[in-house]
């Protein structure tokens, strides 16, 4: 899927099913993608499309039961994450792999000071002593825009506002100079100035460390400004993927087109939320056979309702999972 340098992460056919009292929920249905060093992959899709579950699954963070993760491999620098022990995965997480969770309250431990929680991975992964770790922790807190950072190290998570806690999470994720950063809607609770500041830090680290980045967001303006490539998810599928300019200029999936319809300018930096799209979100019970978007799709025809379109080539690095061919203005013909 990627030519050039060895990817930091290469995910193939990842799947996740939740066993619930009401039956199975097929949350991730064969997701594949790769990230090269220094590259930013923007992940978009409406709420419930499987973005968070995909990242949790590949990091081995979903409790089983109820989650059953299958498929793969998920190659992090050539080694399969899915077959590593929990201990090995924990060693990577917080060290080489920084992860900013969608909900910062569930990922900060309420009984430890914020300083301790930043210093712990620094000491474990970078082998710094107490003093040096504390100095670095203060530096990181200041970097993400927390006023009076050195003193605030001794405060507990509940003494920080939601936006501040999110910044603390970002500081922790960046604390060990990760090779891969997975950020799940990391800036949603932040005001635009702080958000811009954090994006600047991330850009700088990406350039300096060659960090690969997965950035999940609802903000299409941010994707246009930060990402190299975009992956659009729907019902646990990657329905379109490609270079950011190609996707914004020439979207090929009706869902992507609907998302972008309300974004007037490609390079606009104004924050824009994903627009609401008419119709019901997909039902994830039972393995998907048809195209999951068919019930809401203005382009849908018979084939869409019975057969799932796999991802097909559009142009260099750009693929789409759709039976409609916008360039021909007619159903896609298998070669």
Q: How far is the CB of 253 from ligand ADP (least distance, A)?
A: 16
Residues 6+ apart with CB under 8 A from 79: none
Q: How far is the CB of 47 from ligand ADP (least distance, A)?
A: 4
Q: Which is nearer to Mg ion, 56 or 141 (CB)?
A: 56
Q: Which residues bind ligand ADP (CB under 6 A)?
A: 18, 20, 25, 27, 45, 47-53, 66, 284
Q: Which residue has the tokens 């509940």?
A: 158
Which of these ranges, 86-94, 99-107, 140-148, 288-296, lies near Mg ion under the rule CB under 5 A? 99-107
Decide which of ligand ADP, Mg ion, none touches 225; Cβ closer than 5 to 8 Å per partner kind: none
The alpha-helical segments, DSSP class H, found in the chain are 51-58, 86-92, 104-107, 114-126, 130-143, 149-152, 162-174, 192-209, 220-226, 244-249, 254-260
Q: Which is nearer to Mg ion, 20 or 79 (CB)?
A: 20
Q: How far is the CB of 51 from Mg ion (least distance, A)?
A: 5
Evaluate whether 183 touches 234 at the Cβ level (below 8 Å).
Answer: no
Q: Which residue has the tokens 């609907």?
A: 258
Which of these ranges, 95-103, 230-238, 252-260, 273-281, lies near Mg ion under the rule CB under 5 A? 95-103
Q: How far is the CB of 246 from Mg ion (least distance, A)?
A: 25
Decide which of Mg ion, ligand ADP, none touches 121; Cβ closer than 5 to 8 Å per partner kind: none
Distances in Å between the Cα of 270 and the Cα atoms of 34, 223, 226, 321 are: 28, 11, 13, 29
Tokens of 325: 């061919």
Tokens of 101: 């969770």
Q: Out of 16, 52, 195, 256, point to the residue binding Mg ion (CB under 5 A).
A: 52
Evaluate whether 245 touches 224 at the Cβ level (below 8 Å).
Answer: no
Q: How far is the CB of 45 from ligand ADP (least distance, A)?
A: 6
Residue nearest to Mg ion (CB): 52
Contacts with Mg ion by CB under 5 A lie at 51-52, 102
């Amino acid at each position: 899927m990627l030519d050039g340098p060895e990817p930091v992460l290469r995910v193939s056919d990842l799947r996740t099913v939740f066993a619930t009292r009401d039956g199975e929920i097929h949350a991730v249905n064969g997701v594949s993608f790769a990230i090269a060093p220094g590259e930013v992959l923007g992940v978009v899709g409406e709420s419930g499309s499987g973005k968070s579950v995909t990242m949790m699954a590949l990091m081995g963070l979903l409790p089983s039961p109820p989650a059953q993760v299958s498929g793969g491999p998920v190659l992090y620098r050539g080694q399969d994450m899915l077959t590593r022990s929990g201990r090995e995965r924990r060693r990577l997480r917080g060290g080489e792999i920084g992860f900013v969770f969608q909900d910062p309250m569930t990922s900060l431990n309420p009984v430890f000071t914020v300083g301790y929680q930043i210093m712990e991975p620094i000491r474990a992964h970078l082998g710094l002593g107490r003093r040096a770790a504390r100095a670095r922790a203060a530096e990181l807190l200041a970097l993400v825009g927390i006023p009076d950072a050195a003193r605030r190290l001794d405060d507990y998570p509940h003494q920080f506002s939601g936006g501040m806690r999110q910044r603390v999470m970002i500081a922790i994720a960046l604390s060990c100079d990760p090779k891969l950063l997975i950020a799940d809607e990391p800036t949603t609770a932040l005001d635009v100035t702080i958000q811009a500041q954090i994006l600047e830090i991330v850009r700088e680290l990406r350039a300096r460390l060659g960090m690969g980045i997965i950035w999940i967001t609802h903000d299409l303006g941010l994707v246009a400004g930060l990402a190299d490539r975009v992956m659009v998810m729907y019902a646990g599928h990657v329905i379109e993927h490609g270079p950011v300019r190609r996707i914004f200029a020439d979207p090929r999936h009706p869902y992507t087109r609907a998302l972008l319809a309300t974004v007037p300018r490609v390079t606009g930096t104004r924050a824009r939320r994903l627009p609401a799209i008419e119709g019901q979100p997909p039902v994830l019970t039972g393995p998907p056979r048809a195209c999951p978007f068919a019930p809401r799709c203005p382009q849908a025809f018979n084939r869409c309702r019975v057969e799932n379109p796999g991802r097909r080539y559009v142009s260099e690095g750009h693929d789409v999972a759709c039976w409609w061919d916008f360039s021909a203005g007619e159903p896609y013909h298998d070669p």
